[in-house]
Structure 1
């Protein structure tokens, strides 16, 4: 059944501040996206999908993208290095999503070697071509997710070029491609991007709490903030929870079991959520559990989980 999704530009128009769940390899799948939308997240992203593989492979399409009426609004993030591949992949999902995003920030070596992800930060013409091609073939909003350059003049020129060909909004991670996640975010770089374009700008990087989000808004004036690791640890922090509340754990278990999630992802999501609320001894035990029944049994025994109420 076709589920028409909310256009993400409407979300920016309706909200002074927009909370966003970042694209995360393996982790921002349907059950987790649906979970965070219950806790004051306004928009969620799929994991990065390789556009040429997606358009050519039915297996990839079935395994990489699933959605439903509750997964709304959702942005599909594609990795591509040319307009035709990107547009062909985007057309396949356009009826089911509220936006299409181009990954221009993945710093992994394999991505750079494939001329996708952060490689695109040094190829603004390829990015312009992809935006133009998508905009010419569909009405779905098109965004880019970038990092700052070492020389912020390059970042300024990059976003101005993207704006000139019709990018609808953009997300900027406040670190360069070579910086580690432990290094400070460049607030000035993010602020420069916000002040340089007239489209909505989202900030990404070290958003772990409402206080972090507030600091980003105050220092940069952006329209939204995006979190990855912060939401993994506490999917409810945008709703004002300092730690993952138990009902959030219950909700995740219900969604994950209902939709079907592999052991690795199921276990890791729960390990992240319990990181700050389990004692060290219990966490060591929990982290060694090697099957979904064993995990459920542990939650029933030690946390009072009632699976019968979740089904």
Structure 2
């Protein structure tokens, strides 16, 4: 379903806070990824033991001002649940305006306080906000006054964890509902290991559920992080992009998962660039170098499908028939 004006209707959504309170295991969460966390991929990871899925980061001011942006940036349906929409904003007015439009269709509103890219810092969004806790506090307060769904923040840690504690306490003071902590500072590279100490510290000083993000490439990684930090669940980005079946315990992307993605992407409509890149990531650890060179050179959806049919036996019609049969049984 393309984004519709909330005055027309809303979609019943799962209560995320109830998920946290009734869980019998740590929650598995798919991170917001620019370009990649679109509707077909969100539906895919739910089939493989993912409990909560985020949209890509969306610019709140553009979303609230442009119907074209809303239609392009956010589409959803009854199966897309629970979904958290993540906004990047530099002030409470823009965020609250965007949140009010999206709230009837989502289970939560998240504020991006972690994007470290230079353009985001220059726009005073993303990781810039880690040095502006007052603005984040105002954004949470204003948004919660306008919507009736949970409001969360996705943060990074500071080099001095006392700053992180102060940041978290200000968010808690205005009723932030849960927190995701990426265990690196805004200046650390993704090749550096996450700080288990930092993530554990955020959990210890918080009175709300906490998710940990960073270096989750397998179910074993997720378990290790939970055991070491006491968080309520883990969030994966790069790991789940390479292996959407990660939380189902698969070491690499199973062929069935690739078939599922192709079926969903074709059913919903996905541009060739995103379609190709998702498959490139999924095949990263299973194709030979020669196979990757050939596959990565493909530029159109028909050429990709032809390659998968010839080399892997892809048969979407058969896949759909098997799924219909399984549903009927």
**Corresponding residue for residue 11 of structure 2:** 3
Deviation at 1:138, TM superposition (A): 1.4
Deviates more, 1:278-287 or 1:251-260: 278-287
**Corresponding residue for residue 297 of structure 2:** 288
Deviation at 1:310, TM superposition (A): 4.4
Give the number of aligned pairs. Answer: 311
| Structure 2 residue 241 is matched with structure 1 residue 267 | no
**Corresponding residue for residue 177 of structure 2:** 168
Deviates more, 1:227-236 or 1:13-22: 13-22
Deviation at 1:14, TM superposition (A): 2.4
Identify which of 144, 148, 156 aligns with 1:147: 156
| Structure 2 residue 119 is matched with structure 1 residue 110 | yes
- CA distance in 1 between counterparts of 2:113 and 2:291 reads 40
| Structure 2 residue 104 is matched with structure 1 residue 95 | yes
> What TM-score do the two structures reach when normalised by structure 2?
0.93
- CA distance in 2 between counterparts of 1:259 and 1:14 reads 33
**Corresponding residue for residue 324 of structure 2:** none
| Structure 2 residue 52 is matched with structure 1 residue 80 | no
Identify which of 316, 323, 327 aligns with 1:307: 316
Deviation at 1:125, TM superposition (A): 0.4
**Corresponding residue for residue 326 of structure 2:** none
| Structure 2 residue 24 is matched with structure 1 residue 41 | no
**Corresponding residue for residue 204 of structure 1:** 213
Deviation at 1:283, TM superposition (A): 1.3
Deviation at 1:2, TM superposition (A): 3.7
> What TM-score do the two structures reach when normalised by structure 1?
0.98
**Corresponding residue for residue 52 of structure 1:** 61
Deviation at 1:59, TM superposition (A): 0.6
**Corresponding residue for residue 239 of structure 1:** 248
SS at structure 1 position matched to 2:180: strand
SS at structure 2 position matched to 1:25: coil
SS at structure 2 position matched to 1:48: strand
- CA distance in 2 between counterparts of 1:308 and 1:40 reads 25
Alignment RMSD (CA, Å): 0.9
**Corresponding residue for residue 14 of structure 1:** 22
Could you list the structure 1 runs, at least 4 aligned residues long, displaced by more than 3 angstroms after superposition: none
SS at structure 2 position matched to 1:46: strand
- CA distance in 1 between counterparts of 2:70 and 2:140 reads 22
Deviation at 1:309, TM superposition (A): 2.6
